[in-house]
Amino acid sequence: MLAAARATFDDIVMETEYVVDMSQYREIGRVRNEYFKREYPAATLVEVRRLFKPDILFEIQAIAVLPESELV
């Protein structure tokens, strides 16, 4: 979705992470560090009982902001 909007992970300013098992926090942080190389966006981590599909353990909602000159 980012690529379709000509955006990158650097354009993400806020994210909400939904997990079904909070004990996976360290692993989530490790993966997050792989994708966010500069200042981290604002983030919220929420533990939920389940997600839409039973086999999904983790879901991210993100908001990216593009400079006006990059808008289509």
CATH of the domain at 28: 3.30.1330.40
Residue numbers of the domain that contains 7: 3-65
Which of 6, 17, 11 is closest to 48 using CA atoms?
A: 17
| CA 23/CA 19 separation, integer angstroms | 9
Instruction: Quote the pTM value.
Output: 0.78
20 backbone dihedrals φ, ψ, rounded to 5° = -95, -10
Q: 71 lies in a domain?
A: no
Q: 41 lies in a domain?
A: yes
What does the pLDDT look like over 16-69, one tens digit per residue? 999 999 998 899 889 888 888 878 899 999 999 999 999 998 999 999 998 876
pLDDT of res. 69: 60
What does the pLDDT look like over 2-14, one tens digit per residue? 898 888 999 999 9
pLDDT of res. 67: 80
pLDDT band at 71 (very low <50, low <70, confident <90, very high): low
Q: 72 lies in a domain?
A: no
